[in-house]
Chains A and B, each alone.
Chain A
Amino acid sequence: MIPGVSINEILTLTSILFFIGVYGFITRKNLISILISVELILNTSVINFVVINKYLYPELLQGMLYSIFIIAVAAAETALAVAIIINIYRRTGSVAVRETETMKH
């Protein structure tokens, strides 16, 4: 709990961060940027978990625990995504998301 900061302010901040992530995810042309956007989305949700746990149910720990899970999963996911991106880069010589269109066939 942070003195002087209410839960509403923190949730407003995470919402803004979340939509920034969504915006980045949709508009970025670069796969790495998209990955960063995804991380942003994930992290806002992690903050939400922690904040809601701390502010509303201070005697419980589930929110904290889940945030650790999410961080672990996000790390694994990032590793995977980076591996895919490296492969795409080897194949096409770029990390532009447009190049992945051929994967629909």
Chain B
Amino acid sequence: MNLINVFLIPAIPLAVFLVLGIFSHKIKPAISGVTGVAGLAVSTLLSYYTAWQYFFVAGKVDGAYQTFIEKTVWINFTETLHIDMGVLVDPISVMMLVVVSTVSLMVHLYSRGYMKGDEGYTRFFAYLSLFTFSMYGLVLATNLFQIYIFWELVGVSSFLLIGYYYTKTSAIAAAKKAFIVTRFADFGFLIGIFIIGFYTNTFDFELLNDPQGPAILTWASTSFMGLSAITWALILIFIGGAGKSAMFPLHIWLPDAMEGPTPVSALIHAATMVVAGVYLVARLFPMFYMVEDGFALQIVTYVGAFSALFAAIIAITQTDIKRVLAFSTMSQLGYMMMALGVSGLEGHEGVGYMASMFHLFTHAMFKALLFLGAGSVIHAVHSNYLQDMGGLRKYMPVTNITFLIAALAIAGVPPLAGFWSKDEILVAAYQNSQFIYGIGIFVAGLTAFYMFRLYFGIFWGKDTEYKKIPHESPASMTIPLVILALLTISAGFIPFSELVTADKIGFEAHINVPLAAIAVTVGLLGILLAWIFYKKENDLAYRFSVAFGSFYRWTSNKFYFDEIYLFVARNIFFKNVAAPIAKFDKKIVDGSMEGIGNQTVVISNKIKNWQSGKVQDYAFGFIGGVVILTLVFIYIFSN
């Protein structure tokens, strides 16, 4: 297989970023938009070509898909421990290439309409290209360090894009929050990488995941606080992944990240960057599975399941439509993590892994669609809040239909994409644990409910009087919606179980009819409930919220997690750690330096009068000096 094409995929967005970034003041918006879209279109075609080559031309050897690696040593530490740069092509990286390309291209197309007339139009496209480049790099990474580098790059571009409206205080705060929280999590990731490097002497994914490799063979020989050091490393790496994927308790940045422009939310905070954590766990899956009998994987399962449930509950009470979608994203990411957690490695055992990747794929399509649809609505109504919407189906038919398709897909209604992937996840959960399965089913119901609460709230419900009659968005925005809707309908029919599996061999997936029936029924129940509550304007929902009382209040305040973190940060950390250190810095470090400076000033003030400008003073000094020296010399030489 020719890997030159694969190198070109990230290279093109990088080039576009450099051109747009360097000449951002000279390029006309129209040209920069076209440049961005064209560059990405080439990358997308290359990605599709790579996928086709990989799955159908290179195909299977000995019944399994091959792994192609092309790399070069970048930094050498020891004989075995070095950081490489290169590309790794295997089923999940190819799948991610397709996801990133598709969603990114749609978002690029959409942004040309959405951001039209914005002052920083070129800057926006430059950032989008930077992000796409970093994401490609992350996906194609061959080793832990390379993925870490691109991981941070992705974080930076996310920061730049959340804070895109840099004159808005809330956007700046949100950007900082996202950066600090994910950075905090990445610290865990970095330490995990160091531990792995120390104990296994390699960063390379191939070696780490090799059952005969240093990591999996030797985990038992190390121990730290009751667990293998490698397990600790995996847990730390998962903390990094949880930070990016907004898993509880590191989720607080994701809802705030919605301050960025909506296409950004669709691209970064729904479809691509936030699945990086899932991708990371999937990338190291054999290691997670085999080291210490999957102890770290258990943590992944429970964190994922809890996040899914937690976010779904919060999503019900939010009124900002983008925040509902943000919590929905978090919930679905939890689903993916959970699916990875309950997965096995070989054959049909690995259905969870496959389901997780499948859900990642379909979720990217319909969540991007939901966000872009929400963007279209926000574009028309100029508000993020459900209170300001209602009855929009009459004004925005295309958005309405595409949004409905996406909502049905996420609710798991057959035959849309979400149904297939969610069904596989539930099958995997059922095989593993009834408890996890129960959470999964419950979350599925909640998802259907809150998603249709959103749908009915926007497009049905009360007939809001609009000051300015809302209108359908321009074609540049609706075409991506339609394309994504078509993908949402069709993506479920891709035979994922034969393409993307943990052992790369593949298996026949069958619909488990009773489980599917239960899931669909629960989904439909959720939709029905939402129908009763929100289809027509009524006070049922209000009465329920009153009945739930304090629980409702807790939920709508996101269980006060922001406040808890703020309290911990301000009253404990800042007060007891940061403030004393700041004091030390100011008083002792700065103090000594400033003291030296101040003393110099004092002394120079004192001696500056010596330079009086009076010639005779100088002459006096000079002659006096000569006399004194003469006396001294006479004294010395006369002895």
List B contacts of A27 (CB < 8 A). Answer: 616
Question: A62 at interface (Cβ–Cβ under 8 A)?
Answer: no
B155 → chain A closest CB, angstroms:
57
A21 to B259 Cα, complex, angstroms: 86
Give the residue name and chain of the B residue nearest to A100 (CB). B615
Interface residues of B in 568-621 (CB under 8 A from A): 611-616, 619-620
- Would you call A25 and B611 a contact (CB within 8 A)? no
A28 to B611 Cα, complex, angstroms: 19
Question: B8 at interface (Cβ–Cβ under 8 A)?
Answer: no
List A contacts of B623 (CB < 8 A). Answer: 22, 25-26
- Would you call A101 and B620 a contact (CB within 8 A)? no
Count of interface residues, chain B, beta-carbon cutoff 8 Å: 9
Question: A90 at interface (Cβ–Cβ under 8 A)?
Answer: no
- Would you call B613 and A103 a contact (CB within 8 A)? yes
- Would you call A25 and B619 a contact (CB within 8 A)? yes
Give the residue name and chain of the B residue nearest to A104 (CB). B613
Give the residue name and chain of the A residue nearest to B627 (CB). A22
Question: A42 at interface (Cβ–Cβ under 8 A)?
Answer: no
- Would you call A97 and B613 a contact (CB within 8 A)? no
A100 to B620 Cα, complex, angstroms: 16
A59 to B612 Cα, complex, angstroms: 49
List A contacts of B620 (CB < 8 A). Answer: 26
- Interface of chain B: mostly helix, strand, loop or mixed: helix
Give the residue name and chain of the A residue nearest to B617 (CB). A26
A91 → chain B closest CB, angstroms:
15
List B contacts of A28 (CB < 8 A). Answer: 616
B4 → chain A closest CB, angstroms:
71
A63 to B613 Cα, complex, angstroms: 37
A–B pairs, 28, beta carbons within 8 Å: A22-B623, A25-B616, A25-B619, A25-B623, A26-B616, A26-B619, A26-B620, A26-B623, A27-B616, A28-B616, A34-B615, A34-B616, A97-B614, A97-B615, A97-B616, A98-B614, A100-B613, A100-B614, A100-B615, A101-B612, A101-B613, A101-B614, A102-B613, A103-B613, A104-B611, A104-B612, A104-B613, A105-B613
With A28-B616, A97-B616, A104-B612 given, can you name 12 additional A-B contacts, CB distance below 8 Å? A25-B616, A26-B616, A26-B619, A26-B620, A26-B623, A27-B616, A34-B615, A34-B616, A97-B615, A101-B612, A101-B614, A104-B613
B residues within 8 Å of A by Cβ? 611-616, 619-620, 623
Query: What 10 A-B pairs are tightest by C-beta distance, nearest first?
Result: A104-B613, A101-B613, A26-B620, A26-B616, A22-B623, A25-B619, A101-B614, A26-B619, A97-B615, A100-B615
